[in-house]
Amino acid sequence: MDYSTSAQRANQRYDMAFHMLKVSYPMLKDHKLLMGILLNLLQSTEYAVDAILEYERQLKLVSAYPQNFNGKVDFFRSKSLKRNNISPNIIPAMMKMKELVELQKESPIEFSRGNRYVLSKKDYQLHSISIVELEDFANQTKELLSSMQQIISHFDKKE
C-alpha cells in the first residue's frame, strides 16, 4: 500500500473514532461504543505509521520494515520518531490501545460500571477504559496525524 492510501485511511479511521466519541457516544451513552472508538483510534495510528514508513521507504531513508504490529512500532520508534520530531508518547499509547483491543478479544466477561467499560482477563483480573482515556488517545492520535500530514505534504511539494 502506498503512503497516500495509508494516510487517507488513517484520517478516515480517526474521523470515525472522533464522530463516535463526540456525537454517537454522548447521544447513546452505550459503553460498548468505547471499544469501537478504541479500535478505530488504534487502526488510525497503525495506518499513520504505515504512511510515514512508506514515505520514508520511497525516499530510501528506511529499508523494508516488519508488517506485524510490534515489529512495525519498534522499527518506527528506532528509525522515524526522532528524525521527524514526533512525540515519543504515541508509542506507549499505541501499545496500551493494542493491549486493550487484544484483551477484549480474549475477555470472557465485559461489562460497564459507571462511566467505564470493564474487561476481564481469563484469571478475572480487571482492566477498564474510560471516556477520558479515549479522549487522551484521540488527542495523541491527532498529533501523530498532524505530524504525518506535515511529513507527507513536504514530499508532495517536491514532486
* Average pLDDT of the chain, as a whole number: 94
Q: Look-up: residue for cell 484521540? A: 138
Q: What is the mean pLDDT of residues 44-65?
A: 96
Measure the CA–CA gap between 112 and 105, rounded to whole angstroms: 16
| pTM of the shown model | 0.95
Identity of the highest mean pLDDT range in 31-35, 90-94, 122-126, 151-155: 90-94
Measure the CA–CA gap between 88 and 13, rounded to whole angstroms: 21
Measure the CA–CA gap between 58 and 9, rounded to whole angstroms: 19
Residue type, 93: A
Angle value at C-alpha 48, between 16 and 148, nearest 5 degrees: 110
Measure the CA–CA gap between 49 and 77, rounded to whole angstroms: 10
Q: What is the mean pLDDT of residues 31-60?
A: 96
pLDDT for 87 equals 95
Q: Which residues, other chains included, contact 106 with Cβ-Cβ below 8 Å and sequence gap of 6+?
A: 121, 122
158 and 118 Cβ atoms separated by less than 8 Å: no
Q: What is the mean pLDDT of residues 118-129?
A: 92
Measure the CA–CA gap between 98 and 92, rounded to whole angstroms: 10
Backbone angles phi, psi at 116, to 5 degrees: -120, 150
Q: Where are the domains of the chain?
A: 3-95+135-158
